[in-house]
Structure 1
Amino acid sequence: MMVRLGNTQIGLFRYLGLWGGVVLVFAVQGFMQDVMNGSTVWSIFDYLRWSMIEWYTWAALTPLVFQLATRYPIQPPVRLRGLGIQLLASLGVTMLVILIGAFVSTAFEPSSFAEQVKLFVGQHFATDLLAYWLVFAIQQAMQFHAEKTRREIEASQMATELAQSRLRALKSQLQPHFLFNTLHAIATLLDEDTLSAEDMLLRLSELLRAFLEDYDGQEVSLRRELVLLDLYLGIQRIRFKDRLTTRIYVAPDTLDCAVPSLILQPIVENAIAHGISKRVGVDCIEIESRREGDTLCIDVRNHNSKLEAGPASGSGHGIGLSNTELRLRELYGEVAQVSLGMIWPEGVICRLRLPFRDIDELDDAPEVASL
């Protein structure tokens, strides 16, 4: 059996046990008071009986006090109506406790009901009135705590939903941006090399299918991310032919590490857009992954671009880098970092630093090989 106190339920025996502790405390207090005052000392069972009559009456009426407190709370700003109702309720419940206690005591005492009422009013009125307000305060505290917990949960859920919405928006920007650039490259090749353009279309369809299969996920293994990247690099190698080479250096213990999905493709696209697409000559794109303590380090290098000096250098590298920074901030906070730097004798390196954490996923993708 359960006792309901507002929105809280408590087992009957536990509830009676808690009030039993109150009974015992006041029985001992009554006994010690008579001993110290030199009054008549009664049997310990008499003190227990008197205490039980009073406090188990309160145990029976406490759910009523919780209902009154729930219906007529006193909350800022304090309104006279709510305060007045609670004052009247406290007096009414206190008198009800006294009347019930006097009625039950009549069965054990030689005095009449009226005499017991006078005795209870004289001895217990102030205590019972304070007991009402104590129970009321407990109910208000429990309700405040429950409301605070509910708001914290709602705030946490809203923050999570907002973060997920931001991540989905950031991620959704990548596919149209990449698709536009790739289709533009295919259109350029149609007049120059029809077979290569058809090959790019086939690879593009494979890549888009892989994108759509994992569109809702925010993290994948580095192994899967590199397979997707290999599809993209295949398109770019067809586009630039022997002008572009790619190399991937992967530490085996990093293959199952979690990375944001589609985190490398926009960075590589950015390197190509600001390198070989704008500059004559050949270029080499290198991707390297390694573990340093609790950090996954991923470097993307190209050898045919320059990093402009000054504050505009970061913003000048387009949607790829800015999108990457925003996604990492949403997913990992300040733990993750992305930065650009120059490499000798010429080229740019993009450094990603992520928390090292394995991800469990069913992955049928082939092993990644150096290209």
Structure 2
Amino acid sequence: MNPASLKRQTAPWVVMAAAALGLWGALVMLFAVPLALTDPASWLQAVGFAASFWSLWLVFLPAVAWLAFCLPIERRRALRNLGLHCLACLLVVATSRATFRAAASFSPRPQRSEAPGGGAPAVTRERVGSPPLAFHSFRGLRAALDVLVYWSLVGVCQAILLFRSSQERERRAAELEAKLSSAKLQALRMQINPHFLFNALNSIAVLIYVNPRAADEMLGDLCLLLRRSLDSMEEQEITLGQELSFITGYVSIEQRRFGDRLRLEVGVPGELEEALVPALILQPLVENAIRHGIEPRRGPGLISIEARREDQRLRLVVRDNGRGLPGPDAGSVRRGVGLANTEARLQALYGPEQSFSFGKGEPEGCRLEISLPFRRHPVTPSLAADEAGS
């Protein structure tokens, strides 16, 4: 067993022992204060007699705490566990009573002496170091005090168990939420790959009869691109530099078919390439620009990708000089798989901290914009974000 594992196993017992010792000290001081205030005994004597009064609870405290944790008062076994606690409480009271009866024979009683002049008898001590007078009064309440301490300790342990149970439920709910969100993100990403692969293979099928050599090279480039996509399949976020490298490879495949009709411009400062973005977040936008903007256009087509940082936010913009939106505004355009998928993934990853919009470009074409938090460390997805946005 390694030291770290041993430390984890012994830590709860050390904490329990320290807590029991602290509770015992609190009982001693709580008992010593009235002894010192109501009797001409010194504080040292009062603490000593209080410690002797509660000495048995040095054993009882950890034992009762252990029993309370082993026999929680829960709905399924409430009656049985309550009955066992009552038996244990009676055992504590009987043991305490028997012990103090045995000790009482060695403890001197206060003596009464006649007051001078025949007055009322005065209570005196037999010798120095005998118990304070209030000590004998508390001894008469011994059983009641034992019962009170026992059930108070059981109540504290029960509260700790309820708190732990609540924390465990919250932890499991958070883990389940993260797993569900991760599965949802993975499913959304899996929608992109077949969609992208279908369109790429369709382009190759069109080109294979026109330019077989270009189609063969395009197929090789597609294999390399798919390998790169599979390498990052388990990652929900990658650096902007990796995403741009993937986009460059994708556009080079499409350029085999479009030739000089398709050109890509990237305006991203070097310091922003380390920023994290969702994997394959730009690919559907670029593909959408090619299919619906550049392909119907007769002249040369241009797609530009820009990135800039605004305080703690990263803004990504994809523009094209294609035919633009078919409707009067973005609201009238039906979102396909690519755009709908992009919106859903952004919502799942960043919730209300993201925004996605598209509209007519200036002076022509279409403009798509993504705004998300600027981060260099991964973010944990949460389904709460989906609920907030729904």
Q: In the alignment, which of 271, 283, 292 is matched to residue 301 of structure 2?
A: 283
Extract unaligned runs of 5+ from structure 2: 1-6, 111-135, 379-390
CA contact (8 A) 1:28 1:47 kept: yes
Percent of aligned positions with the same letter in both sequences?
35
TM superposition shift of 1:291: 1.1
TM-aligned CA distance change 1:143 to 1:231, over 3 Å: same
d(CA) in 2 for partners of 1:43, 1:186: 99
Question: 1:302 is matched by which residue type in structure 2?
Answer: D
Q: Deviations over 1:79-130 (max 9, x none)?
A: 555444434433332333333344345444479xxxxxx9776222222211
| Correspondent of 1:23 among 28, 35, 49 | 28
SS in 1 for 2:318: strand
Asked if the contact 2:89–2:150 (Cα under 8 Å) also holds between the matched residues in 1, the reply is yes
Quickly say closer, same or farther: Cα 1:325–1:344, change in 2 above 3 A: same
Work out whether residues 98 and 121 of structure 1, in 8 Å CA contact, stay in contact via their aligned partners in 2.
no
Report the counterpart of residue 66 of structure 1 in structure 2: 65
Q: Does 1:250 align with 2:249?
A: no
**Equivalent position of 2:382 in the other structure:** none
| TM-score of the two chains, using structure 2 as the length reference | 0.79
CA–CA distance in structure 2, aligned partners of residues 195 and 129 of structure 1: 93
Work out whether 1:321 is the aligned partner of 2:339: yes
Aligned partner of 1:54 in structure 2 is: 53
Q: Quick one: which amino acid aligns to residue 160 of structure 1?
A: A
For residues 107 and 18 of structure 2, the distance between their equivalents in structure 1, rounded to whole angstroms, comes to 26
Deviation at residue 56 of structure 1 after TM alignment: 3.0
Change (3 A) 1:262 1:78: same
In structure 2, distance between residues paired with 1:79 and 1:264: 59
Aligned to 2:317: 299
1:124-273 alignment to 2 at 5 Å? 124-273=142-291
Shift of 1:25: 2.6
Distance verdict in 2 for CA 1:177–1:219, change over 3 Å: same
* In structure 2, distance between residues paired with 1:106 and 1:58: 21
| Cα separation, 2, equivalents of 1:339 and 1:304 | 18
Q: Which amino acid aligns with 1:291?
A: R
User: Which moved further from structure 2: 98-107 or 243-252?
Assistant: 98-107
Q: For residues 68 and 376 of structure 2, what CA distance do their matches in structure 1 show?
A: 51
CA shift at 1:289, angstroms? 0.8
Q: For 2:18 and 2:218, how far apart are their aligned partners in 1? A: 75
Asked whether the 8 Å contact 1:57–1:101 carries over to 2, the reply is no
User: Offset of 1:153 from its aligned partner?
Assistant: 1.5
What amino acid does structure 1 have at the position aligned with 2:160?
Answer: M
In structure 2, how many angstroms separate the alpha carbons of the residues matched to 1:256 and 1:198?
Answer: 34
Which residue identity does 1:325 align to in structure 2? Answer: E
**Partners of 1:98 and 1:120 within 8 A in 2:** no
Q: Work out the CA distance in 2 between the residues paired with 1:52 and 1:259.
A: 65
Q: 1:187 to 1:59 in 2, by over 3 A?
A: same
Q: Give the distance between the partners of 2:16 and 2:153, measured in 1 at CA.
A: 18
The CA distance in 2 between the partners of 1:81 and 1:243, in whole Å, is 82
Please state how far the C-alpha of 1:202 moved relative to its aligned partner. Answer: 1.5
**Letter of the aligned partner of 2:231 in structure 1?**
E
Deviation at 1:42, TM superposition (A): 4.1
> Which residue type is aligned with residue 91 of structure 1?
L
Pick aligned residue for 2:369 from 344, 351, 354: 351
**Inter-partner Cα distance in structure 2 for 1:304 and 1:351:** 16
Gaps of 5+ in 1: 36-40, 112-117, 361-371
> Residue deviations 1:266-291, cap 9 Å, x none?
11111112222345444211111111
1:295 Cα deviation after fit: 1.0
Partner SS, residue 173 of structure 1: helix
Query: How big is each residue's C-alpha offset from its partner over 1:189-212, in whole Å with a ceiling of 9 and x where there is no partner?
Result: 111111111121121111111112
| Contact 2:265–2:302 (Cα < 8 Å) also in 1 | yes
Q: Report the more deviating stretch, 209-218 or 302-311.
A: 302-311
The 8 Å contact of residues 268 and 306 in structure 2, kept in 1 or not, is answered as yes
Aligned to 1:166, the other structure's residue is in SS state helix
Amino acid aligned to 2:244: L
Structure 2: distance between partners of 1:328 and 1:109 = 81
Q: How many residues align?
A: 345
Secondary structure of residue in 2 paired with 1:268: helix
Cα shift at 1:220:
1.3
Supply the RMSD in Å over aligned alpha carbons. Answer: 2.9
Counterpart Cα distance in 2 of 1:277 and 1:8: 71
The structure-2 alpha-carbon separation of the partners of 1:207 and 1:289, relative to structure 1 and needing over 3 Å to count, comes to: same
3-state DSSP class of the match of 2:15? Answer: strand
Change (3 A) 1:106 1:148: farther
Q: Distance in 2 between matches of 1:201 and 1:272?
A: 18
Structure 1 contact 337–353 (Cα < 8 Å) conserved: yes
SS of equivalent to 2:73: coil
CA 108–12 in structure 1, closer or farther in 2 if over 3 Å, else same: farther
CA contact (8 A) 2:16 2:62 kept: no
Distance 1:106 1:267, change over 3 A: farther
- Matches of 2:104 and 2:248 in 1, distance apart? 89
Contact 2:20 2:62 in 1 (8 A): no
